[in-house]
Amino acid sequence: MLEDTMTGPVAPAGLRPGRREVHFRGGGFLPTPRRLHSWFGFIAILGLWQAAVSLHWIDPVFLPSPSSIGQALWRLTASGDLWRNLSISLMRIGSGWIIGTGLGLIVGIGMGLSSVTRAVGMPMVSAIYPIPKIALLPLLILWLGIGEAPKVVTIASGVFFPTVIATFSGVDSVPRNLIRMGQSFNMPMSGIIWKIVLPSALPGILAGFRISLATALLLVVAAEMIGAQYGIGAFLLTAGNLMQTDDLLAGVVILSVLGLGLGAVLTMIEKAFLNWR
């Protein structure tokens, strides 16, 4: 029996006239991990797709079934075609990304730390960033010849600008009180940059890496479609021209896996370096 301190024993809430229960209304709006649902959704879509092709609802020439794509993937792996094309694309992405990111970090940090560099660099970055970098490829071929250089430079230039902007924003948003704290202990400029500014800007820089990796993947495919014999982009173009849609989609799957893999590597780096957040 409930006890009321004022009136003694009371009847259950529902029996007393005029008394209403307060209903819970605070649920929802909380993201909850549902790993099983993700897999279920993925498998369901694949199953539907497979069924649609098997039941001839869809012409396999235009959209081959998942099993055909799987077979194509197996064939490409066994023949070595997959690795030949993938390794060249990875080399181009790696070179372009390292060059573009390295330069982007230097310029972004410079713009974040120096008002002069910012004044000079910001208008230029703002003007050049929106240009689709693939549009520069013909010009780069003219300047650098037909070879690896124009493709790598296209990727580097595409990666450079998001890195500059992310790094600049990261450095610019370092809490000023942390810098003042360093100064109040007479820390040298280099110490403030290495021990305060860069670690503080790291979340922003890594977010920029995520964007620049996606950009690099996009640009490598586009550049290889325009002027390359090997590489995932060239492979996709050839498969498309020959109407080998199973090979074409196998190439798309490889790109997706590559993107996921690179994203996973970045997530690992973030977990290792940003565990303090």
Partner 1 sequence: MDVIVDVKHHAYGELQVLEDIGLHVHAGEIVAVIGPSGCGKSTLLGIMGGILQATEGRVFMEGEAAADCLNPLTYIFQDFALLPWRTVAQNVALPLEHHRLAAGERARRVNDALQRTKLDDFANALPKQLSGGMRQRVGIARALVVRPAVLLMDEPLSALDAQTRDLLMEDFLDLWLRERAAGVYVTHNFHEALRLADRIMVLSRRPGRVKEMVEIRIPQRERTLKSAQVELADLGNRLWSLIRDEASRAEREVVDA
Per CB under 8 A, residues contacting partner 1 are: 175, 177-178, 180-188, 191, 195-196, 199-200, 274, 276-277
d(CA 78, CA 64): 20
Instruction: Kindly tell me the sign of the dihedral angle through the C-alpha atoms of 143, 146, 148, 152.
Output: positive
In the complex, minimum distance from the CB of residue 32 to partner 1, in angstroms, rounded to a whole number: 23
Name which of 79 and 183 has its Cβ closer to partner 1.
183
Name which of 178 and 211 has its Cβ closer to partner 1.
178
CB 39 within 8 Å of CB 221: no
In the complex, minimum distance from the CB of residue 190 to partner 1, in angstroms, rounded to a whole number: 9
In the complex, minimum distance from the CB of residue 212 to partner 1, in angstroms, rounded to a whole number: 23
Name which of 16 and 180 has its Cβ closer to partner 1.
180
d(CA 154, CA 215): 11
Which residue stretches of the chain are H helix? Answer: 35-54, 66-79, 81-113, 115-128, 137-144, 148-172, 176-184, 189-192, 198-227, 232-241, 245-273
Neighbour tally for 235: CB within 10 Å: 29
d(CA 101, CA 152): 12
Spacing of C-alpha 142 from chain mean position: 31
Name which of 56 and 176 has its Cβ closer to partner 1.
176
In the complex, minimum distance from the CB of residue 276 to partner 1, in angstroms, rounded to a whole number: 4
Name which of 182 and 251 has its Cβ closer to partner 1.
182
In the complex, minimum distance from the CB of residue 107 to partner 1, in angstroms, rounded to a whole number: 24
Q: How many residues does the chain have?
A: 277
